[in-house]
Amino acid sequence: MPMLSDPPLAVVDPDIASLIQQEERRETHKIRLIASENYVSRAVLEASGSVLTNKYSEGYSGKRYYEGQQLIDQVETLACDRVKALFGVDHVNVQPYSGSPANLAVYLAFCEPGDSIMGMGLPFGGHLTHGWNVSITGRYFQSHPYGLRPSDHRIDFDQVRALAKEHRPRLIWCGLSAYPRVVDFGEFRAIADEVGAILCADIAHIAGLVAGGVHPSPVKVAQVITTTTHKTLRGPRGGMIMCDEEHAKAIDKAVFPGVQGGPHNHTTAAIAVAAREASQPEFKAYARRIVDNAKALAEGLLGRGFDLITGGTDNHLLLVDLTRKSISGRPAARALDAAGIVCNCNAIPFDPRKPFDPSGIRVGTAAVSSRGMGKDEMARLAAWIDQAVASPTDSALLARIAGEVQELCASFPPPGIVVG
């Protein structure tokens, strides 16, 4: 007889159990177009919901501060070995709790408070942690953000070079959350070398595309690479830092004890599973499908008179400029949600509108590709988006679309979810 009764979630906490079940239905019945989201496999979910959450293991494999690490050391070593093989890097730290703490550790490894740093400005699709003023990274460092060219909305390398020469940053970030084109890591590295800066490529959004071989890799170009594990890479919520052997010690010290305490071993195990999945041939096909679907969706939207920033996409996302559609981003995103299509409103480059209700929406194809959707489904999606955005207050129409969306979704069940 166990000492304590240990009933299941539905008995202990029916409120949370019910909300999780409703979220399972929502994720199944709606089309997920949020560019940073995905569906993990059942295997990844199992690992991340495992007893490994119970174990403390401050330190690294073979050098821990607590006993009982016989199995945890193997889990973390497997995760590291698989990630190193997947991306072809010398060293990886899989302990960052997420993308933001990973980036914070990079600052700690290379910068002193007050040092000059550079990253893409937030309004152009940079990340908060690349030195934006409301973030700790903008408060504790001298941040000199760069942007996009007004003419074609591509990265303004003339500006990057001019700012770098003027401010001599310690660290330059390249990596974006809303940029639909290939990032030229080599051009960034040339500029970093000209001013003696460390280049950190933040591939949070595109890690799965890099792993799948459909976006150029920053490996051996940027000295340091950070990423989340939960976007196109299709792993658990987590972060990683990859680097050459030369910087390995500095990175490890910065993550622990610099920024964090004990690693989340359940997440580490799920990262190991995701890295194994991403090294299979099917993952290459998956990455290809993400990009093909994004291009198909772009074509569908262009054909219906939508404007896309840069005119299209090379990766998993599109930034739609709604200015000519006479609707702003927030009501458009709300109408789409009511129609069963979930995306987010997003600033466009040089947006005249405020961030809370900007001029665009951002859509991505990582999650629909995980469900196995393809070009035909992207064409239907473009038609639905067009109808919903044209009549955002027609609740009958939005409900009708939501019904059609749910019907389509029934043929493409997402990985990891068994709806009861």
Active site residues: 56, 58, 202, 228, 231, 237
In the complex, minimum distance from the CB of residue 98 to ligand PLP, in angstroms, rounded to a whole number: 3
**Which strand ranges, in their side-by-side order, compose the sheet holding 171-174?**
91-93, 239-243, 224-228, 198-202, 171-174, 116-118, 142-143
In the complex, minimum distance from the CB of residue 129 to ligand PLP, in angstroms, rounded to a whole number: 6
Q: Is the peptide bond before 257 cis (omega within 30 degrees of 0)?
A: yes
In the complex, minimum distance from the CB of residue 118 to ligand PLP, in angstroms, rounded to a whole number: 14
Contacts with ligand PLP by CB under 6 A lie at 36, 98-100, 127, 129, 175-177, 202, 204-205, 228
**163 Rama sector, left if φ>0, alpha if ψ -120 to 50, beta otherwise:** alpha
C-alpha pair distances (Å), 393 with each of 9, 327, 342: 39, 11, 16
What is the separation, in whole angstroms, between the first and last Cα of the chain?
Answer: 31
CB atoms within 10 A of CB 355: 12
Nearest-CA neighbor of 205 among 235, 171, 236, 229?
229
Q: Which residue lies nearer to ligand PLP by CB, 233 or 408?
A: 233
List 201's β-bridge partners, or say none: 174, 225
- Over its C-alpha atoms, the chain yields an Rg (Å, rounded) of 22
Q: And the tokens for 285?
A: 């096909």
- What's the per-residue H, E or C state across 364-409? ECHHHHHCCCCHHHHHHHHHHHHHHHHCCCCHHHHHHHHHHHHHHH
Q: Which residue lies nearer to ligand PLP by CB, 48 or 228?
A: 228
In the complex, minimum distance from the CB of residue 29 to ligand PLP, in angstroms, rounded to a whole number: 25
Q: Which residue lies nearer to ligand PLP by CB, 137 or 369?
A: 137
Using CA atoms, how far apart are residues 214 and 217, in angstroms rounded to an integer?
Answer: 9
Q: Which residue lies nearer to ligand PLP by CB, 131 or 340?
A: 131
Residue nearest to ligand PLP (CB): 99
In the complex, minimum distance from the CB of residue 226 to ligand PLP, in angstroms, rounded to a whole number: 7
In the complex, minimum distance from the CB of residue 62 to ligand PLP, in angstroms, rounded to a whole number: 28
Q: Which residue lies nearer to ligand PLP by CB, 35 or 388?
A: 35
Q: Which residue lies nearer to ligand PLP by CB, 291 or 398?
A: 291
